[in-house]
Amino acid sequence: MRTIRVELGRNSYEILIGAGLLGQAGRRLREHGFAGKLVIITDPTVDRLHGESLKKGLAKDFTVTTLLVPEGEAQKSLETASRLYQELTDARAERNTPILALGGGVIGDLAGFVAATYQRGVPLIQLPTTLLAQVDSSIGGKVAVDHGQLKNQVGAFYQPKLVVADITTLKTLPPDEFANGLAEVIKSAAIRNRTIFAFLEDNLDRIKSLDDAALEETVFQTAKIKAGVVEKDETDTGLRNILNYGHTIGHAVEAVSGFTMKHGQAVAIGMVAAARISRKMGMLTESEVSRLKDLIEKAGLPSSLPDISISRIIESMQHDKKVQHSRIRFILLRSLGDAFVTDEVSPALVEQVLNETT
């Protein structure tokens, strides 16, 4: 097992990463001072696949209530939150009753939002079961629901008390969900650590074959990058922006595809395009651009645009949150492992690069 401590003053917490950790969650929670009642929020698939190993380890010491939420982004809503508040009340959950978010990013964001607001906040434990959730969404305290057409429109910064990433759960992930998480893994290495980028290049086959040691190392190193960025910018006023590498174009591609394309696939295309923009602005070598593109393709992710309208992508980018004073905000790479934020990218250059990314 590997441990990362996220240093955020009185909001500090640990991330535990390893094989078979769900079964030990009861002991870990006791060590962290929890006792009595607790509530698990999860979805039916995750409950069926991994609920049992978690609950077995909790049975001895805790009174467990499980609340099920159907799968899918549509559940990240105030309606579902409202239903959960009622179910928590029915289960007599109190101020000190921890909520365990067992699942992917949807469950983590939703259960986190509910934990942040129910009775002005109850302890939140993240038990991420997708690769994306283990390396990204369970860390950093952003919790939210969607509202109207807008993603994450209503939310809070609410740090968990503990994150337990059991890499064994990744073995039941559908391959496209695994690839989805690999996009964020590659992103983290690309923005922050070229040694880890090289590790990914050397070990991708082992990672994709779900080798325990390779998975543990990958989740550990990537989670550490995210934690390090969050420590420096807990409330997202500066550095944390670099985690959006590939997301400026990625979000637009996702939206224009009518969300038929998965987030990680769209971000993969966005990362390659942003690398080419970096190159054209005099940064990043041609060979670094190729290394990024090769790694993305080897991970089973797309590196070029499908047949969708480039002008609609640009239009969609101009409506995105990341536009400041009508300039589109980009994250670019000076070199592999070194990202920065800029609003100096011209729409003409974006268009040129997108035309070359088909």
Ligand X SMILES: NC(=O)c1ccc[n+]([C@@H]2O[C@H](COP(=O)([O-])OP(=O)(O)OC[C@H]3O[C@@H](n4cnc5c(N)ncnc54)[C@H](O)[C@@H]3O)[C@@H](O)[C@H]2O)c1
Residue 123 is a binding residue for ligand X (CB under 6 A): no
Please work out the total of residues on this chain that contact ligand X, with binding judged by CB under 6 A. 28
Q: Which of 1, 8, 19, 49 binds ligand X (CB under 6 A)?
A: 49
**Alpha-carbon separation of residue 33 from 27, 127, 253 (angstroms):** 10, 17, 45
Q: Under DSSP, is residue 127 helix (H, G, I), strand (E, B) or coil?
A: strand
- How far apart are the C-alpha atoms of 21 and 10, rounded to whole Å? 25
Q: Which of 73, 201, 216, 236 binds ligand X (CB under 6 A)?
A: 73
Half-sphere exposure for 217 (CA within 13 Å, toward CB): 16
Nearer of residues 29 and 69 to ligand X, judged by Cβ? 69
Q: What is the DSSP string of 153-182?
A: EEEEE---SEEEEEGGGGGGS-HHHHHHHH
Task: Tell me the two tokens of residue 174.
Answer: 């559908």
Q: Which stretch binds ligand X (CB under 6 A): 33-41, 128-136, 279-287, 312-320?
A: 128-136
- How far apart are the C-alpha atoms of 75 and 71, rounded to whole Å? 7
List the interface residues with ligand X, window 226-285 (CB under 6 A). none
Q: Which of 117, 159, 180, 303 binds ligand X (CB under 6 A)?
A: 180
Instruction: Give residue for tokens 């496209």.
Output: 176
Residue 130 is a binding residue for ligand X (CB under 6 A): yes
Q: Residue 28: what residue type? A: R
Instruction: Give residue for tokens 């543990």.
Output: 216
Q: Site map for ligand X, 25-44, x if CB under 6 A? A: ------------------x-
Q: Which of 80, 129, 159, 241 binds ligand X (CB under 6 A)?
A: 129
Nearer of residues 142 and 329 to ligand X, judged by Cβ? 142
Binding site for ligand X (CB under 6 A): 43, 45-46, 49, 71, 73, 76, 103-107, 109, 129-130, 132-133, 136-137, 140, 142, 151-152, 169, 172-173, 177, 180
